[in-house]
Structure 1
Amino acid sequence: MSDMIHSLNSEITIHEGRAVTTSIAVASFFNKQLKHVLAKIQSLKCSSGFTSANFSAQVQHVGICNGASRESKYYEITKNGFVFLVMGFTGKKTAAFKETYIAEFDRMEAELHRSESREIIQGDGHSLLIHFDRKTNQIS
């Protein structure tokens, strides 16, 4: 994978047993204003079940002048939520991310086609395992 994907790894944490990132990290990584990322999340056309499983609203306290603070909304986002959200973004950095994501799928599919023994492909811990049935030409 490209350095771009690896640079995002530091923004992915484990929370309650799940790998998540935040809308704050997404805004920073893709050079977007947080308010625009929040608006995009709120306007996604996915099902309510998908939304609740992959986007968790949170509040953080942000310091402002004179020691005061205010509440600021953000989301914890799962991998599936992240992909759904980012695939709707545009721009050069997003296009590069999408190309890298597609190239990784292509690499893995090519490896599956080469693997006669159907053994598990050794990955880097960030890989997706797909089973390709040559008789039916279906991926499972």
Structure 2
Amino acid sequence: MNQLVFIENNRVVTDSLTVAEVFGKEHKHVVRDIEVQISKLHEAKEHEFVKSNFGLEIFKAKNNKEAKKYLLTEEAFTLVAMSYTTPEAMKMKVRFIEEFKRMRAELEKQKQPFKLPTTYKEALLQLVEQVERNEQLQLQNAQKDQIIKELRPKATYYDLILQNKSLISISKIAKDYGMSAMKMNQLLHQLGIQYKQGDCWLLYSKYQDKGYTQSKTHTIDSETSKMHTYWTQKGRLFIYEMLKNKLGILPLIERDEQTA
């Protein structure tokens, strides 16, 4: 299978047939996995997410009978493939994510045909627009690079235990220290752990594959989405050690114990 993702109706998608072939699964099992996720999303009242990211189609199977398949956006694919965790499956997920990124850039080119400016003002506006597009693509690429590296950490028994615990936002971690999320983000930047690009905080490369964070994309509307980074319990312990050992900053509960 050469083409993992493709453009359909002005969107970058893959489908359940491709997923089944690449991951070496029966198509009916992939359809089952997809419908499990759709059911859970409906239970969570995420009806718009289902509508925007999953597309049901009917096709003729090899036995000439009608069968159903699903079109999947990158967000839908990520949800469905989350449970595919063998080393080979992880490689395939990385390939899919990289192909989504490449095809999205291709779609962006198609949407923005080059037009020769006729005035100095038009030329200047085109330059400003191109700079803004480049900055947006750079941000998207940095976000995808973080997600790809988050898929790669080696799973130890300790890591597997931590994965069963809930993710936590930076604002909740900051609350443990009696500070704002803004202040906590600045401290992590001061320690060389993360940097800001656009309005997102992203881990520096050397920390991206340690299993400290998980990134989720939240749909704002049918055309807009935003990535949020959540910290794992392993990441929370990492922040604790760094603040304690590098800056001498303790959480409130330990400060209270020392005072007592």
Q: Residue deviations 1:50-103, cap 9 Å, x none?
A: 222111000001243xxxx210100011111111111122323223345x48xx
In structure 2, relative to structure 1, the CA distance for the partners of 1:31 and 1:16 (3 Å cut) is same
Aligned to 1:80: 75
1:56 matched to 2:55? The reply is yes
Q: How far apart, CA to CA, are the structure 1 residues paired with 2:88 and 2:49?
A: 26
Contact 2:16 2:31 (8 Å CA) reproduced: yes
Q: How does 1:108-127 map to 2 (within 5 A)?
A: 120=135
In structure 2, relative to structure 1, the CA distance for the partners of 1:95 and 1:50 (3 Å cut) is same
TM-score of the aligned structures, taking structure 1 as reference length: 0.61
Give 1 or 2 for the bigger CA radius of gyration: 2
SS of 2:91 mapped into structure 1: helix
Aligned to 1:90: 85
% identity of equivalent residues:
24
1:14 matched to 2:7? The reply is yes
| Structure 2: unaligned runs, 5 residues or longer | 99-133, 144-181, 190-195, 201-260
Letter of the structure 2 residue corresponding to residue 88 of structure 1: S
Q: How far apart, CA to CA, are the structure 2 residues paired with 1:51 and 1:121?
A: 26
Letter of the structure 1 residue corresponding to residue 52 of structure 2: A
Contact 1:56 1:75 (8 Å CA) reproduced: yes
Query: How much is the aligned-residue C-alpha RMSD, in angstroms?
Result: 3.1
SS of 1:11 mapped into structure 2: coil
Q: Residue deviations 1:23-76, cap 9 Å, x none?
A: 000011111111111011111123322222111000001243xxxx21010001
Query: Counting strand residues as a fraction of each chain, which structure ranks higher?
Result: 1
Aligned to 1:25: 18
Aligned length: 107
Letter of the structure 1 residue corresponding to residue 20 of structure 2: A
Contact 2:23 2:92 (8 Å CA) reproduced: no
Pick the aligned partner of 1:43 from 36, 56, 67.
Answer: 36
In structure 2, relative to structure 1, the CA distance for the partners of 1:95 and 1:60 (3 Å cut) is same
Query: Counting helix residues as a fraction of each chain, which structure ranks higher?
Result: 2
Q: How far apart, CA to CA, are the structure 2 residues paired with 1:28 and 1:12?
A: 13
- Structure with larger RCO (C-alpha < 8 A, sep 6+): 1
